[in-house]
Chains A and B, each alone.
Chain A
Amino acid sequence: PVLPEGWAGEKDFKSIGQLSQATDRNIEPIGPHFLAYARRKRHQRTFSEDDRI
């Protein structure tokens, strides 16, 4: 979309709404991607920290 006239935001970014409440579900403990996820969760790492290792 084209930027409307007179649009302004702090550092060109405006936070407007929040995500709707999420639903808690059980993920299946299987596969390489889950194991990577479990490793991150147990060591409280983020994606980017994980990438660096």
Chain B
Amino acid sequence: MSAQTDPAQRVAIGISFGNSYSSIAYTTGDGKSEVIANEDGDRQIPSALSYVEGEELHGGQAKSQFVRNAKNTAAYFRDFLGQQFESIDPSPCHQSAHPIQHGDGVAFGIRDTDEDKENTVTVGDVTTRHLKRLRSSASDYLGKDVNAAVITVPTNFSDAQKEALKKASTDAGIEVLQFINEPTAAVLSYDARPGAQTADKIVVVADLGGTRSDIAVVASRGGIYTILATLHDYEVSGFKLDQVLIDYFAKEFVKKHKSAGDPRENDRSLAKLKLECEAVKKALSIGTTANFSMESLVGGVDFTATINRTRYDLLGSKLFAAFTRLVTHAVEKAHLDPLDVSEIILAGGNSHTPKVASAVRSAFPDSTTILAPSTSSTAINPSELSVRGAAIQASLIQEFELEDIEQSTHPMVTVTPHLSTAVGVLCISGDESSGIFHPIIDAETSLPVRRTATIATPREGGDVLIKVAEGSRHIKVTKPESKPKSEKEEADDEDSDEDESDEEEELREKTWKVGKTLSEAAIRGVKKGGKVEVQINIGADLSINAIFREVGAKGGIRGIVQGHKTNGST
């Protein structure tokens, strides 16, 4: 405890701090990340604090106080940190303590002592108390005093918000080693799995949370990540999905018990409905039917009902479609096509819902992998993605001096040139028009970079010319043969819907358009069926250093194309 800043004394964990839920994770000796459950056995710990007669309740215990002790329960406060009171949206707090203005910032008025008076507790202090509880849960589990952490934040978290979170963490006895972005943490947790290979791919991380949805398009290039576009939405959320169920069950209740009144019009009944509906939603992610049951829902009337998944999918269909639209918008925002996306990582608690995955699935081509529990057996629990990423990052940097970490994350280091077009070789024919472009390094790859590829040579062998060129990706749209039209004439009175869907089915494929040729190299006397290994190094100054060698042969051709910066100086 005496030397908290001494890296040798550090015990670091990963923390994901959300508006609705928080989690904690550590990395085992053999490099696997493990999510820690708190004393209640929860891995997803509700970000809530409640006070009963001066006693502090945390997590799930605090959440259940929404019903009987809502005024002294603070929840959904993450996005209030470091914010002006005017700029916050207090609507998630309707069922708990309302945020109030306190100086420049936000606070809650809650009775947090056994005295009968209300205290003003700033959001920073609430966060500190919440983080303290998380820290003690982690310390109890690990048997060591946890004193450092990597914390995940949304990509649109401002510096003021990070500063406020850093202060709250320091007050809770946690040294913040680094703030990392939630989407990249999710990508890292997949890439860090044993046996996973880092590849060059475009990954979309779609996080459907409780109070907000965040989409990020990430270029993953050999384990280095660049965020190309982000999208945030506060309308499409898990809360709205809960609301769909609340409305459904409330209507069912009113139908059966006309005299008892609408449970949505009574605060306590609404709180009960909300808690139970969230549980029903979770149950529907696992099973195909779920039971709703609540004692004394309103007016002393008990209520039980069941719902099946098909009904829920139907009720929430607008929201699922809206979420899918968000994902495709984010891809458009990055100036990409769905065909460019190799993977979609579904994150956030609501990604457990099978319909969320299938709705997104339907908007993307078959070549895109959807990583969600219902579409992939190897998927990681969507609720645990970012915290696992944070735990891995924490284990990587916990031995570094804080100064080293700060220097490494400085823009001097992180801002790098990225290729604007793909670089590859022309295969098959020397003629540019008939040549086929074989990309070796994709666009949006950060420099410097080195990639090696093996390409086939003409069947007969002999002397071979290798051209290195730039290539840009195009989407080729081919309409199917005009068969439907002729059919239309023959069968005029057939259902017109069918025809429309036929016409819409155009064939989209990725093609490469060859751009500038960069260099040519000759390899003489290649054996029949021989292969050529091409290694391309591109420096930060855009110079290309290429090596061409027949597989199995000695020597090879080496060549350098000068970059812009070297050119400018001479």
- Interface residues of chain A, those whose CB is within 8 Å of chain B, are 1-4, 7, 9, 11-35, 37-39, 41-42, 46-47
Contacts and interface: CB of A to CB of B under 8 A. Distances in A.
A37 to B, nearest CB: 6
The 10 closest A-B pairs by CB, nearest first: A33-B223, A13-B559, A22-B417, A1-B430, A3-B463, A38-B408, A29-B409, A28-B225, A17-B516, A12-B522
A20 B143 CA distance: 55
Nearest to B150: A30
B464 A30 contact: no
18 contacts: A1-B466, A3-B522, A12-B522, A13-B520, A14-B521, A17-B519, A19-B421, A19-B518, A19-B542, A19-B561, A19-B563, A22-B418, A24-B417, A26-B227, A27-B224, A28-B414, A29-B178, A30-B188
B418 A42 contact: no
A29 B414 contact: yes
B224 A33 contact: yes
Interface in B385-432: 389, 392-393, 396-397, 407-409, 411, 413-421, 423, 426-431
A15 B466 CA distance: 12
Contacts of B563: 18-19
A22 to B, nearest CB: 4
A28 B227 contact: yes
A24 B524 CA distance: 39
A42 B224 CA distance: 17
Contact of A13 (B223, B444, B558): B558
B523 interface: yes
A22 B464 CA distance: 30
B564 interface: yes
B519 A22 contact: no
Interface in B177-196: 178, 180-181, 184-185, 188, 191-192
Given A12-B557, A21-B564, 8 more contacts: A2-B464, A3-B462, A3-B524, A18-B567, A19-B563, A20-B515, A23-B417, A30-B225
B226 interface: yes
A32 B223 contact: yes
Contact of B519 (A13, A20, A23, A31): A13
Contact of B465 (A1, A25, A41): A1
Nearest to A40: B448
A16 B519 contact: yes
A53 to B, nearest CB: 16
Interface residues of B, number: 79
Given A25-B446, A26-B414, A30-B185, A17 B518 contact: yes
Contacts of B467: 1
Nearest to A10: B559
Given A1-B458, A1-B464, A12-B522, A27 B226 contact: yes
Nearest to A3: B463
B119 interface: no
B28 interface: no
A42 B521 contact: no
B465 A31 contact: no
B249 to A, nearest CB: 42
A39 B198 CA distance: 19
Interface string B78-109: 00000000000000000000000000000000
Contact of A35 (B191, B396, B559, B567): B396
B427 A1 contact: yes
B180 A30 contact: yes
Interface string B536-567: 01100010100000000000011111111001
Contacts of B7: none
B522 A47 contact: no
A19 B538 contact: yes
Contact of A41 (B198, B413, B523): B413
B564 A35 contact: no
Given A31-B223, A32-B396, A13 B518 contact: no
A47 B539 CA distance: 10
A21 B567 CA distance: 13
Nearest to B390: A30
A42 to B, nearest CB: 7
Given A18-B567, A30-B180, A13 B226 contact: no
Interface in B201-235: 218, 222-228
A41 B419 CA distance: 18
B517 interface: yes
B188 A31 contact: yes
A10 to B, nearest CB: 9
A1 B466 CA distance: 7
Given A14-B521, A28-B226, A33-B223, A38 B542 contact: no
Residue from A14, A27, A30, A37 having most chain B Cβ neighbours under 10 A: A30
Interface in B501-545: 515-524, 537-538, 542, 544
A19 B408 contact: no
